[in-house]
Each structure stands twice: as structure tokens, then as C-alpha cells.
Chain A
Amino acid sequence: MSALSETLQTIDRRYLYATLLIIVIVGLLVEIPLPLAVGPQARGFYDAVEQADPNKIAIVSTLWSASTQGENRPQTRVILEHLMRRKLRFALIAFGDPQSTILAQEIAEDLARAHGYEYGKQWINLGYRADIAGTLKGIVRDLNETLKQDSIRNRPLAQFEVMRGVHNIRDVGLIAEVSASGNYVSWLGLVVGSTDAPFCYAPTSVMAPELYTYIDSGQMKGMLFGIKGAAEYERLLGIRGFTSRAITPVSLALVLLFVLIGLGNYGMYASRKKGGTA
């Protein structure tokens, strides 16, 4: 028995890596059609976009680089898909990582073709800003004076049809951010208190647990819990995108981990019961 309890505790990591890789490949190829329940937070996000004021513009802020595209790219895609379905005007803005501007632009261009959205008429990219707090304080007061030009055509904002009638935060109907960091603190601290536009957040799963206190206090109207949140949103939109396929291997990998932790601890427990070394 002690040989088994010993091996259970020290499975060589190469086998673990191989098992994980196999599980992910199989999970991507063979879809296990398990229903995914749509949680209240993803529904909150969906309802906020559904009920957003059509005469006002939506701001979609992106704060992720390719390092977390596995979660943030599908989230950005489902949010923009929903905005375009509801024919809402939106403006992209990026903070944190300079790459965010182009990453969001690419997704928006791709979806704009499918929805007949024209750059400058229904949507615009306001580019990247290095300092977050100063920019957000400026946007609350005067959007054009703070941001000056768009990022793609480098022309003053007033020249774009999508920005007509948009002067400050009171002309914004929805604020959504897709982020790999804790930047919600700047929005909550400097913007959300100055408007009644709903504020929704799409963090990587790592950040999600910290946000439930803001959902409870009503400061955040909705939240997408990493890749799972994106998969729930795809179900709400009735589309089968990448996340609906990816959620299966994610689940299998989690099950694998819990099984391994169980084995490791059982091995330790069994060997300790016989006075073996822990």
C-alpha cells in the first residue's frame, strides 16, 4: 500500500502536462453538450445593454493585451455583437496596455462588416491613454477637450457623425470595460458617481471574486465571470462562438486538477496513517 500512496504524492509533472494537453485537445474536438446555466451577473450585463438609452453613446473601454486574449477577446466580441444588434452608437477607448487599441479595433472591424456599421457614423475608436485617472476626470467634464482626436483617422472628434451631441458624461448611456486588471477602481472612483449610466464589467476570472461587493452595493449592474461569462452571454445572444466550444476543456481541466489534489492528499493521508514520511 505504501508504494501506491508514495506514487500518488509524487506523480511526475511530465505526465501531468501530457494529461492536461490531451484533455484540452480532446475537449476542443469532442464537444460535450452540457447545458450552462446563465448566472444573474451575466443576465445583469445583458439587461443593461438591452435597456441602454438609444439616443446616448455607449463607451466600451478595453484594458487587455494578448496575454489574456483567451478570456478578454471573446468577452469584447459578445459585448460589441450585442451593441450592434441593438443599433447602439459606441466609442472604444483603451487604457493600461497600448496594444488594446488595435486588439479592440480588429474585433470591431470584423463585426462592423457583418452588421453594416460604418466607422465614424455608428462607432469610433478614441485610442489609448497612458494616464487613466486624469483622462476619466476629464471625460466627465468635457469629452472632446480631453480626447481631442480619434485614433484611426486622427481627426477632431467634432467632425464625426457618431460624436454629434456627445459633450460629457451625461451624454453616455452605458459604460462597459473588458479588463485584465483592477481598473474598475478608477471608473467607480471618478466616473460612476457622476452619472446614472449603468456600469458593467468583464474581468478575467482571476479578478471576478473581488467584484461581488460592488454588485451587492449596486455600483456594478452586471459582470462577465471570465470565459464562463462570455459563454453565458453567447447563450443569451443565441450564438455558438468560440467560448461555447472552449468551456468544455476548461471544465475538464478543473475536474482534472481537483482529482489530482484529491489523490495527492489521499496519498499523504494514507502514508501518514502508516507512519510513512509526509
Chain B
Amino acid sequence: MEWSHPIGIWIGAIGTLALFSLIYRENWLYRLFEHMFIGLAAGYTIKAAWDEILETQWWNPMVHDGQWPWVFALFGGFLFYTIFTKRYNWMSRISIGVLLGFAAGQAFQATANLYIPQIRGSFKPLWVNEGMLRAGSGLTPLGQSLNNILFVVIIVTVMTYFFFSFEQRNKVVQGTARTGRLMLMFAFGAIFGSTVMARMALLIDRVWFLMHDWLGIG
């Protein structure tokens, strides 16, 4: 069955232009379509919450399979909504505490799996001979050695920058920390360039929608 419909495309196109008008000036047309967008997104959240999770994982097991303890999950969910009251809003901290507790409990395994391989990956030999080269890396042993030395130096300098519990009066430490901050600029330069690329891709998708789907050009 078809996913789109001409009337829908027209509304979408007019909405796109209305929302683009924000770049010129905030105006009533922009606000109208922004409110429509917020409403549609909230409406979809209700559908997804029921269809995807509550019906299959809570309502059916409780009502059809007879697992009555799921009623306590409803009580836990209800406690979140006490946040809107003055007298009972402390109770919302119980359910929030449960979710925070679960997340905190997972931190041990998550930290281990996320950072131990990166520590292991930082064990780079500072002097590489022919045998240790990765196949097809196209690097000479000297090249790989220099890369490894630079890699370890950057880790040490950037980590030194983020030490706070002792004064950085010693010249060497100060120099290392300042180098660390400059090394960070490479990472932030890469992020800057990629962010611009990401935003452009979003604009191109919209312009192509207006040109191709709506006006039939190109």
C-alpha cells in the first residue's frame, strides 16, 4: 500500500516552507505549524507507548496470562504522575529512584566493557619491527612507531589537563597540560567540520523533497 498521498505532500511542503520562515523572522505561520508538529509528535508517542510496549508487555500478560503482579507496575507508573501535585510530589522520587537505581547498577558492567578495551587498545609498542605491522596498513615500521608514540603522548597530555587535585605549578606539568588543551583542538576541529556537514545533509533532504516530491523537478 502506498506510503504517501498528494494532499499529505502538499501539507508537508507548505509546513516545510512555514517552518523555514523562522530563518527570516519568528512569525504566526511558523508558530502555527510548530504547534501542529508538537501535537502530532505527542500523539504518535501515545500510540507507540501503547502499541509497542504497554499492550504486549504489560496489559496482555496481566489480563490474559493471569500474571496479576503487573498491577504493581501500574502503581509504580502512577507514582510518576504525582509530580504534578504539591502534596504528593515527593512520591514521584520513589519511581524515579527505581529507574535511577537500575541505571546506576548497570554502570559497573558498562564502564568495564566500554573502557577496558580502550585501555588495552592504548598498549601500543613505541618501537615497531617488520613483524608487528598490520597487514595492508601501507606503513613502514618507522611510520607505525611514530604514530604509536604520538598516540600515547596525546593520551598522556590530554589526561594531564584534566587533573584538578594538585596545583600545576611544576613547569613540565604545566607544559604538558597546555599541550593537552591544544591537542583537544584537533578533536574539536573534526567535530566542527562534521557538524556543518550533518546540517547541510538535512537541508538537502528538504530541498529535494520540495523539488522532487512536491514540484516534480529533477
A and B touch in the complex (CB under 8 A): yes
Give the B-binding residues of A (Cβ under 8 A).
14, 17, 20-21, 24-25, 27-29, 67-71, 73, 98-99, 101, 106, 127-130, 133-134, 137, 148-149, 151, 154, 185-186, 188-190, 192-193, 204-206, 208-210, 213-214, 216-219, 225-228, 242, 246, 249-250, 253-254, 257
A204 to B197, CA, bound (A): 9
Contact call A21/B207, Cβ cutoff below 8 A: yes
Complex A-B: 30 CB contacts under 8 Å: A21-B207, A24-B203, A25-B211, A28-B204, A29-B217, A71-B202, A98-B47, A101-B52, A129-B52, A133-B110, A134-B102, A148-B57, A151-B51, A151-B52, A192-B113, A193-B109, A193-B112, A193-B113, A209-B187, A213-B121, A216-B121, A216-B151, A217-B120, A219-B117, A226-B201, A228-B197, A253-B196, A254-B193, A254-B197, A254-B200
- Given A127-B52, A151-B52, A216-B121: A25 and B197 within 8 A (CB)? no
- The residue in chain B whose Cβ has the minimal distance to the Cβ of A130 is B53
- Say whether, besides A130-B53, A186-B110, A206-B191, A25 and B200 are in contact (CB < 8 Å): no
User: Shortest distance in angstroms between B35's beta carbon and chain A's nearest beta carbon?
Assistant: 17
Contacts of A134 in B (CB 8 A): 102
Residues of chain B touching chain A, judged by Cβ–Cβ distance below 8 Å, are 3, 23-24, 44-45, 47-49, 51-53, 55-57, 102-103, 106, 109-114, 117-118, 120-122, 151, 187, 190-191, 193-198, 200-208, 211, 217-218
Most chain A CB within a 10 A radius of its CB, from B109, B114, B200, B211: B200
Interface pair A249/B56, CB less than 8 Å apart = no
- B52–A128 contact, CB under 8 A? yes
| Shortest beta-carbon distance from A21 to chain B in Å | 7
State the Cβ distance, B43 to closest chain A Cβ, in Å: 11
B218 touching A205 by the CB < 8 A rule? no
| Contact yes or no, B49 A98, CB < 8 A | yes
A216–B121 alpha-carbon span in the complex (Å): 7
Which B residues lie within 8 Å of A206 (CB)? Answer: 191, 194-195, 198
Residues on the A chain within 8 Å of B203, using CB: 20, 24, 70, 253
Nearest residue (CB) in B for A245 is: B208
Asked whether B194 lies within 8 Å of A249 as measured between CB atoms, the reply is: no
Bound complex: CA A68 to CA B195 (Å): 12
| Nearest Cβ on chain A to B100's Cβ, whole angstroms | 12
| A278–B80 alpha-carbon span in the complex (Å) | 53
A128 to B53, Cβ gap below 8 A?
A: yes
Residues of A contacting B106 in the complex (Cβ-Cβ under 8 angstroms): 133, 137, 189-190
Query: Which residue of A68, A128, A130, A254 is within 8 Å of B196 (Cβ)?
Result: A254
Contact check, A246 vs B56: say whether CB atoms are below 8 A apart. Answer: no
Q: Who on chain A is nearest to B54 by CB?
A: A130
* Docked pose: A203 CA to B217 CA in angstroms: 30
Query: Nearest chain-B residue to A68 (Cβ)?
Result: B202
A185 to B204, CA, bound (A): 29
Q: How far is the CB of A182 from chain B (nearest CB, A)?
A: 11
